[in-house]
Each structure stands twice: as structure tokens, then as C-alpha cells.
Structure 1
Amino acid sequence: MKSYLCAIGTANPPHKIPQMQVADFMANILQFGERDTRKLQALYRLTGIGQRFSVLEDYTRDNGDFTFYPNTPTLEPFPTVQQRMGVYREHAVALSEQAIRTCLEQAPETGMEDITHLITVSCTGMYAPGLDIELVERLGLPTTVQRTSVNFMGCYAAFNALKLADSICKSTPEAKVMVVCTEICTIHFQKNTEQDQLVSNALFGDGSAAVLVQGQPSCEMALELQSFHCDLAPAGKSEMAWHIGDTGFEMTLSSYVPELIKDGIKALTDRLLQGLKTKASEINLYAIHPGGRRILEVIEKELGMTRDDNRFAYQVLREFGNMSSATVLFVLKALMDTLTPQHQDEPVLSFAFGPGLTLESMLLKVHYVDA
């Protein structure tokens, strides 16, 4: 039995914010002097991000004209978790709906009424009855659709959702599984001058990506899900973390994360390919989660990749920033948009990373129906 990633749809909120405009916002709110402002601007330039999207228009405005944050010099009283979750609920459903509808536009043989399973993925907001049930109502999905939620697993969570979709389709070949990853990261800005908080504020944006997985390819081109492998680097448990605080979700993102990934990425790749008729040297297509520019660079060095090999990750990082779980699906879509029948049967290697420190890998294969 096989399973296929047949279509990907993406969505972003309307507020597109240049990266250096966010830097100015942060420097102003954190009340940085000239020296610290220059250092913060350098950090933002080094990210490789050109722009990000946010549900909050405040990041484009001067202090005194905010609609979410208080119009005070220090943003006090700072928004609570409850206020942030209200914004999440308001926007997550609409973004998810847009991504799913865009996904199904690419798979005209599949309608809303055909979806048998819905998997929702998020680490930036939670409530119940949740995103899954609201989507059933908004999209007119069958009330009998089987629902699963993958919550609070961070940037690698899309891999767990795809593993589940793969298992469902292999056990039930007629299944049509919709996976949607939706993250509203920018509502969790923390007014903190610790280095890991400054880095987090410099990286994350908002977005949603939806994927249709089926037991049979229904589009001209699909990606066959071939193999998954995950590993933990316990030494990095405290280097990447995501906790719920009194005023939002608090990210810990240490500068040691790229080195921890560097130490484990080669072994992860070798284990993924064990037992498959694929060698690392035969792979020319990559979809790597751009957790940050430095992470992409250390992977390239360890696997003997070029920057051009990694161009889809850099493209997504530059245009959207890090959108947590949705990001690797944006990268896969960017890659899929360039494929032609000449890529038939070529392997695609994909990675994502998150709290734990968790390293996830996936091997896919390009499949053209008539090739």
C-alpha cells in the first residue's frame, strides 16, 4: 500500500511587514538606546528574512495607534494569554479555511464532502471545541469526518501529522486525509531583552498550509510518502523550548541549536535511507524547514549540499520567516511548483526540528501519473 501527498494550499494574513520595520518596532518598545538598536538591527538583517506576515497590524504602526497592544510607552498592561487566545481563535479558522480551499482547488476530483479525515496542527493556540470542529462547520465537511489534533509539538509537527495521514491511507486506501497546519506566532511577542527572546521575535511569522493525502494520486503530479525517521538529541532539551507564561507563550531558542543539529543530521539521514534503494548521493531535491539561516548553513555543510540545493528553504525564509509547523509545507509547495515530468521518481529529502531537541526526517518520491 502507498500514500501520496497530492496538493498543498497556503495562506497568510494580510499584514505584510518588512523585516527591518519589525526591528524598529522592537527597538522602540524595548526602549533601546542607539548602541543596542544597532545590534538589534544587525541581528534582524542576519536572519535572511525580508518580510513576515502577521494578523496584527500593530507591527506596522507607531506607538499610540495600536489596536491590540496598549497605547502606552511600555505596552502595559501587557496582553494576557486570554487576550492572545482570543486573537488566535479569531484568525486561525479563517486562515485554515483559506489554505484548505486553495489546496482543493488543485485537486478538482476531491470535494469537501469527500474528506474522510481532518488533522489539525498548531502550537500557537488552543481551545475546545476547537479549530477542527469549527472547520467542519465552516467548510461543510461531513459531520462523520474523523478528527485528530496535533498540538504544541512545534516546528516539526507537520511530520507527525503526515505520518498519521500515511498510516491512515495505507490501512484505508479510499481515505482522503486533509492536514492543516496553522500558526499565529506573532501574537506571542514577549517584551524581554534576553538573547533567545530577541532571536525568537526576529524569526517568526503567521501562516497556514493544508495538504491532501490519499491512497491514490488524484493529480497529474504527487509526492509519494516513502519513509520517515525521527531522533532525539537530549542534550538540546533546554536549548529549544515552548512554555505557556502569564502573558503568552514563551520561546527559548538558544544559539547552540544549529550545532546540535549539525551533530545529528548526518546520522539521521543515514538511518532514514537504511533499507531503501536510495543513497544520499542520489538526492538532488530538498525541502528543509528553515528554522533559521544558520541551521540551513550547517546542514548544507554536513550533507555536502550547495546553497542552490537549499534554495526553496531560503526562498520561504526570505518571504515568510519561520511559521513553525506550517513552514516545511510552504517549502514543499515551492519545490512542487518547479517539478516537471523529467523529475519522475526522483527522491525528495525533507527535515524539520523542534523542542526536545527533536530531529524529524522524511523521504518522498516524485510521481507523475502519465510519466
Structure 2
Amino acid sequence: MKSFITAIGTANPAYGFPQLKIAEFMSDAVSMNEEERQRLFTLYRASGIRHRYSVLPDFGTAFKYSDFFKPGDKALMPSVSERMALYKQEALPLSIAAIENCLDQLGSFSKDKITHLITVSCTGMYAPGLDLDIVQSLGLSHSVNRTCVNFMGCYAAFSGMKVADAICKADKNAVVLMVCVELCTIHYQKSMNWDHILSNAIFGDGAAAVIVQAEKSSALALSPELFYCDLLPEGRKDMAWSIADFGFEMTLSSYVPSMIKSGIKELTNNLLSKLSYKVDEIDYFAVHPGGKKILEVIKDELEIKKEKCQQSFDVLADYGNMSSPSVLFVLKKIMQDLQNDLSSKRILSFAFGPGLTMESMVLEVVPSEFTKALEDDKEFINIEAV
């Protein structure tokens, strides 16, 4: 049996800012001197990011319109409880926007068909949680099966997809809705610590929703062929996510790209060998846009052409790193690019997170029944002409 990703929807908050505008906020917030400011702007220019989104207006307004992040010392920064209250307020509407964008792609699809709900997030939590709020807001059955994937970081969409895939393979009537939502910017750290400076430079807010079904619809779909995970324990301290007194704190060292470089080829070979595929047989690479250096390291180490992973660079440029939804933004762009494609293709996808965890999967692109019918008609006409 197989599972099929039949639609992916995405959403971002109302506030969007150019990357260099955010840099102005960051330098002013900690009163950087000119040398520090120039170093920060160099980092932001080299990030590969043009634009990011936040649920807060602060990052483009230098404290003029919001009092959530107040100027002054760290003691004035919002507590964890205040940040969680903001998460509870903002995560649901952003999730619903992504879900609606997803379901709109399925035409007359009825929400009553949804049998399972998976929620994924690492930037906030509360109970009763986001899963129950989504059930209430969408009017889903109270008996819908619910699973929550929490605090797993940037690779968590893979964890959710594994659950959805297993459900669909076990139940031919299963229709799974998975929602990834992250409000990374509510955990802004006012600090000169380099880990915090780097995290403040790349993360943004966003949500993505996916419908996974046991039966393929008539539209283009992605079918997972295999998942594979590996660990690089030596990177345990270089990518971490912890709860502190003033928000969740990300540790993201500059060594992460080199660690991924040391393990990505072996990870890829181990995955593809199980399917008897070679790297040059992969048509698209959906890489989690964790950062520009990470994308470039993978491209160079696997010797793939940039056009095969261009969607990852584009998502990084337009949204930054949104943690778990990011790779789904990439897959959505690939699906959009393939809408009129008549041939079956394969996608290799990667994501990375605390541990250092390296997740991967191979997806088969299943063309829509409509485009396949058009291709069959063309072949028939050509035969008749002969």
C-alpha cells in the first residue's frame, strides 16, 4: 500500500520585512557600535534571505508600534509565559489560513473525510492544545484521531509525515491532515551571544498544511517511497533548542554546515541504495532551507546542479528558515512547477535538527489523471496519423 500527498497549503503572518530592515532593528536593540553593526549587516547580506515574516510588527518598526519587545535591558524582555500566551493567540489563525489554502486546492473536498489530525510545532505549547482548537475551528468530528509532534525542531515535518504514511498504509480509508506551525520570532533574544545573533538573523514565522490520503486523487500527488534517518552525535551541542527564563533559546553554531557536509553523502547513499537509485536519477532535491551555507554544502557535496534544488534557495530568500514548515514550502513550490508535467519524477528531501538529526525521504511524483489522459490522447492521435 502507498500514501499520497495530494495538497500542500502555506500561510505567513501579516507582518513582512526586508532582511536589512530587520538588521536595523537588531543592531539598535542591543546598541551595537559601528564595528559590530557592520559585522551584523555583513551577516544579513550574506544570509541568502531577502524577506521574512513575523506575527509581531516590532522587527520593522524599531519599537514604535508594539510593546512586546521593549527597549532596555534583558529584564524587560517578555517571560516564557507571556510568549506562550502570544503563541496561543497567533498559532491557531495562522494554522487555519494554511489549512484553508491546502483544502482550496482539492475543490469539492469535504472536511468530513478527515480521519486523523497531526499537529507539529516546537515554538509553543499549551493544553488543551492547538489540535483541539483546530478541531473546533474547522468543525471536525470530535472523534478524529489526534497526534501531536512537539519540540523536535526543523526536521519535525518528517516525523509527522512518517506517522501520516503509516496511518494511510494501515487504513485504506484514512485521510490525514498534518499542520506545521512555528512562531520562531516570538523567541527573539536580546543578546550579543553569537548563537542568538545567528538565530535572530535567519528565523521567520509560517505554517504549512498537508493532506495525506490512502487513495490517490485525480490531481498530481507525491507518494513517499522510503524514509531514512541518521544521527551525527558529535553535533549534539552545535544544534540545540532549550527553554530558558526569557523564551526558547536556539543553539546554532557555525560548525553545523561542515558537520552536515561530513554526513550528507553517506546518508544519501544509504537511503538511495535501499531503492537501487543513483543521485543522478533524482529530478528534484527538496532541502530544508536551514541556511545558505547548508544548501550550498549539500549542492556541492552531492554534485547536483542548482536548478535541481532552486526551490530551496527561493524559499530561504522569500521566507527565511521557518523551522518545521519550511521543507513543506519547498515541496509545494515543486508541486506547482510540476502541474503540467506528464512524466513521473522523483524527489529527494532532507531536513536537519537537534541531535544533530538528519532526516531524508524519497518521493515519487505521480502525475494528475488529467495530464496523463492528455498524454494518452496525444499518443493515440500520433498513432492514428501514422
What range describes the TM-score normalised by the shorter chain of this pair?
A: over 0.9
Correspondence 1:140 to 2:139: yes
Aligned residue number for residue 207 of structure 1: 206
For 1:280-327, what per-residue CA distance to the aligned partner results, in whole angstroms no more than 9, with x for missing partners? 121121110010000001101111112222210010000000000000
Matched, 1:154 2:153: yes
The residue number in structure 1 matching 2:52 is 52
CA contact 2:173–2:214 (8 Å) conserved in 1: yes
Residues 87-114 of structure 1 show CA distances to partners (whole Å, capped at 9, x for unaligned) of: 1010100010111111011112432111
1:7-22 counterparts in 2 under 5 A? Answer: 7-22=7-22
Aligned length: 370
| 1:337 counterpart SS class | helix
1:369 and 1:338, CA in 2 relative to 1: closer, same or farther beyond 3 A?
closer
Higher mean displacement: 90-99 or 56-65: 56-65
Matches within 5 A, 1:98-177: 98-177=97-176
Between the aligned partners of 1:342 and 1:69, the Cα distance in structure 2 is 47
| Match of residue 239 from structure 2 | 240
Q: Give the letter aligned to residue 47 of structure 2.
A: T
**What is the rounded CA distance, in whole Å, between the counterparts of 1:108 and 1:64 in structure 2?**
43
**d(CA) in 1 for partners of 2:217 and 2:105?**
10
Q: Which residue of 2 aligns with 1:42?
A: 42
SS at match of 2:325: helix
Q: Does 2:27 align with 1:24?
A: no
Moved more, 107-116 or 162-171: 107-116
The offset of 1:276, in angstroms, is 1.3
Match of 1:198 in 2: 197
Query: 2-side partners of 1:246 and 1:73: how far apart?
Result: 17
Give the Cα–Cα distance (whole angstroms) in 2 for the partners of residues 329 and 342 of structure 1: 20
Q: Which runs of 4+ in 1 moved over 3 A?
A: 72-76, 340-343
Q: By how many angstroms is 1:343 displaced?
A: 5.2
For structure 2, the 5+ residue unaligned runs are 373-386
SS in 2 for 1:365: strand
Counterpart contact for 2:119–2:147, Cα < 8 Å: yes
Q: 1:76 Cα deviation (Å)?
A: 4.4
After TM superposition, the score normalised by the length of structure 2 is 0.94
How far did 1:218 drift?
A: 1.4
State TM-score, norm by structure 1. Answer: 0.97
2:274 paired residue number:
275
Structure 1, unmatched stretches of 5+, are none
Distance 1:368 1:268 in 2: 28
One-letter code of the match for 2:192?
A: T
**SS of 1:180 mapped into structure 2:** strand
- The corresponding residue for 1:184 is 183
Deviates more, 1:341-350 or 1:239-248: 341-350
Contact 2:63 2:69 in 1 (8 A): no
Distance 1:51 1:367 in 2: 32
SS in 1 for 2:306: coil
Judge conservation of contact 1:29–1:74 (CA < 8 Å) in 2: no
**Equivalent AA in structure 2 for residue 168 of structure 1:** I
Cα distance in structure 2, aligned partners of 1:284 and 1:347: 6
Does residue 315 of structure 2 align to residue 321 of structure 1?
no
* SS in structure 2 of the partner of residue 231 of structure 1: strand
* 1:302 counterpart residue number: 301
Change in Cα spacing, 1:99 to 1:65, as seen in structure 2 (3 Å) is: closer
The answer to whether the Cα contact below 8 Å between 1:4 and 1:223 also exists between their aligned partners in 2 is yes
Matching residue of 1:255: 254
Q: Distance in 1 between matches of 2:284 and 2:188?
A: 35
Question: Are the equivalent residues in 2 in contact too, given 1:109–1:218 (CA < 8 A)?
Answer: no
Q: Conserved in 2, the CA contact under 8 Å of 1:328 and 1:352?
A: yes
User: For residue 202 of structure 1, what is the amino acid of its counterpart?
Assistant: A
Q: 1:62 and 1:369 mapped to 2: Cα distance?
A: 48
Q: Is the 8 A contact 1:69 1:75 kept in 2?
A: no
Q: Counterparts of 1:249 and 1:73 in 2: how far apart (Å)?
A: 20
* Native 8 Å contact 2:57 2:65 kept in 1: no
Alpha-carbon distance in 1 for matches of 2:150, 2:63: 34
SS at match of 1:325: coil
Q: 1:69: how far off?
A: 1.8
Deviation at 1:354, TM superposition (A): 0.2
What is the match of residue 336 of structure 1?
335
Once the two structures are TM-superposed, the CA of residue 342 in structure 1 deviates from its matched residue by: 3.6
Which residue identity does 2:301 align to in structure 1? E
Q: Do 1:343 and 1:366's aligned partners in 2 also have CA atoms closer than 8 Å?
A: no
Secondary structure (helix, strand or coil) at the match of 2:337 reads coil
| Aligned-residue RMSD, C-alpha | 1.2
State the 1:278 CA deviation: 2.2
> CA distance change for structure 1 residues 343 and 201 in 2, over 3 Å: closer, same or farther?
farther
Residue 341 of structure 1: how far off its partner (Å): 5.0
Identity %: 50
Q: After superposition, give the CA deviation of every residue in 1:16-68 in whole Å (9 maximum; x if it has no partner).
A: 11100110001001110111000000001111000100000111213354331
User: After alignment, is 192-201 or 125-134 more displaced?
Assistant: 192-201
Contact kept? 2:222, 2:365, Cα under 8 Å? yes
Distance, in Å, in 2 between the alignment partners of 1:219 and 1:149 is 29
Whether the 8 Å contact between 1:287 and 1:313 is mirrored in structure 2 is yes
Mapping of 1:75-114 within 5 angstroms? Answer: 76-114=75-113
Counterpart residue number, 1:217: 216
